[in-house]
Structure 1
Amino acid sequence: MAGASAGKPGFPDPDAAAEAHRRLLTDSSIQFDLPHKEIERHPPPEWLLAAIRAIKHAAEWVGPAWPWILGGLALLLVAVLILTFFPSARDWLRETFGRGRPAEETEQWVPEVAVARQLLEEADALATQGRYDEAAHLLLFRSIEDIERWRGDIVRPSLTSRDIASAEALPDEARGVFSGIVAAVERSLFAGRPLSQSDWQDARGDYASFALGRA
């Protein structure tokens, strides 16, 4: 029993532990505390103080009118969003106020006679080969180009042919003719129904009557 007890490690000597701790604390090569550093504070710049004072004075001057001002800003934001996402609203606004454009000027879109005849000759050349879809497409695309030359603000990349056909800026007769051509092309492209000779003759006749009726 005595031999077994002698072989076990004993508790450290308290005096030795205290001495080791003292030496550790007095060792200048070991840093226990971080040095205190004063945070340097800078006053706000004068321009910022001036801006704050100006805002404060404006708020005091406006006083109870703030709700009306905020309501006006909200209405302005709603109007901007409507004009951004609804092209028809822009068309209505443009037609209503006109940008100083005489009212009769907006009613004058008709293809030039020479241009219309050249277009019909090219389209007829396709139709004589039985390519009625391509002939109608040609009428549509050339008409869009013609409208864009007349009023570039009507034709925008984001608009479809149907959007252009419904534009309030187009005269009623032109809108009817253009809408008919658009409908024929949409049947061909999206409904998978190739145009017949009769379909082509209807679209051609409407365009020719409109473009050449005064010639």
Structure 2
Amino acid sequence: MRQRWNLSIAACIIASAAPAAAVVAGDIVAVHERLRSDPSFQFEFSTTPPLKPAPDWMRAIADFIAAIFNLISPLIELVFWLGIALIFIGAVYYVGREIWLRTRRASNDENADETPIYRPAPSLTRALLEEADRLAAAGRYGDAVRVLLFRSIEDIQQFQPNYVREAMTSREIAHLSILPSLSRKAFSQIAAAVERNHFAGREIGADIFADCRAAYRTFAEPGNWS
């Protein structure tokens, strides 16, 4: 087969070189031999050597990785869909929470004017001031101021238990919506004196007690709650 192909090439070359000459079989063979001996033509082609097989350790690693991938591929798909589900649930939760918060704020704004106002009982006010005065007369000014603060908090809590929580600080209580501005300011003054004494160690003397007593009278003044 190869020889026939080579003869065909030679015939084509002769036909193109001498189209007018008569070609005989001997001439074809001679031309073919000359072509074979011409170093400018290549008739033998080298074959590419086969690739060397991979080392056993490399094939073992590849097989191990393939086995792991085949094992976890179902889990990867499961994790993907779980991630999609979590994103969807998170989006629904966020939107629902925002809607709920806005609805709650709107409801609170509508009911703000209907919030019952706390009014200290006059009899309680007199009893509280008398007790504070007795402590102050004994030189226990810090205890006297704390009585003013804690008893007023207790009274608010009894009147509106849903407003005052056990974990609330006096500063948070001072910002409750049931306290009018003047009473809130007076309550904050008493609370600040107790905080400075408790956390900063600042001693409460007669002057601070007098200021807190006056602040409590403002806090409990009925006209400030109307």
Report the Cα offset of residue 97 of structure 1. Answer: 3.5
Tell me the TM-score normalised to structure 2 length. 0.52
Q: Which residue of 1 aligns with 2:210?
A: 201
User: Does the 8 Å CA contact 1:136/1:200 hold for their aligned counterparts?
Assistant: yes
After superposition, the CA RMSD in angstroms is 3.1
- Does 1:114 find its partner at 2:123? yes
Which structure is larger by alpha-carbon Rg, 1 or 2? 2
Deviation string 1:56-77 (CA, Å, 9 cap, x unpaired) is xxxxxxxxxxx99964432334
Q: Which residue of 1 aligns with 2:113?
A: 103
Q: 1:92 to 1:118 in 2, by over 3 A?
A: farther
Structure 1 regions of 5+ residues with no counterpart?
1-66, 84-88
Tell me the TM-score normalised to structure 1 length. 0.54
Amino acid at match of 1:75: V
Deviation string 1:156-182 (CA, Å, 9 cap, x unpaired) is 112111111122332212211111110
Deviation string 1:18-55 (CA, Å, 9 cap, x unpaired) is xxxxxxxxxxxxxxxxxxxxxxxxxxxxxxxxxxxxxx
Q: 1:161 to 1:209 in 2, by over 3 A?
A: closer
1:135 maps to which of 130, 144, 156: 144
Amino acid at match of 2:113: A
Report the Cα offset of residue 194 of structure 1. Answer: 1.0
- Does 1:188 find its partner at 2:208? no
Q: Which residue of 2 aligns with 1:178?
A: 187
Tell me the distance in 1 between the aligned counterparts of 2:128 and 2:200: 26
Amino acid at match of 1:135: A
Q: Which residue of 1 aligns with 2:96?
A: 76
Report the Cα offset of residue 213 of structure 1. Answer: 5.8
Runs of 4 or more off by more than 6 Å in structure 1?
67-70, 91-94
User: Does the 8 Å CA contact 1:92/1:168 hold for their aligned counterparts?
Assistant: no
Q: 1:187 to 1:79 in 2, by over 3 A?
A: farther
* SS of residue in 2 equivalent to 1:157: coil
Deviation string 1:129-178 (CA, Å, 9 cap, x unpaired) is 11110001101110111111221122111211111112233221221111
Tell me the distance in 1 between the aligned counterparts of 2:118 and 2:141: 26
Q: Identity across aligned pairs (percent)?
A: 39
- Does 1:163 find its partner at 2:183? no
RCO higher in 1 or 2 (8 Å CA, sep ≥ 6)? 1
Report the Cα offset of residue 110 of structure 1. Answer: 2.4
2:132 maps to which of 123, 135, 142: 123
Amino acid at match of 2:120: P
Q: Which residue of 2 aligns with 1:12?
A: none
Tell me the distance in 2 between the aligned counterparts of 1:145 and 1:124: 19
* SS of residue in 1 equivalent to 2:203: coil
* SS of residue in 2 equivalent to 1:111: coil
Tell me the distance in 1 between the aligned counterparts of 2:134 and 2:200: 25
Q: 1:77 to 1:180 in 2, by over 3 A?
A: same
How many residue pairs were aligned?
Answer: 136
Q: 1:198 to 1:94 in 2, by over 3 A?
A: farther
- Does 1:149 find its partner at 2:162? no
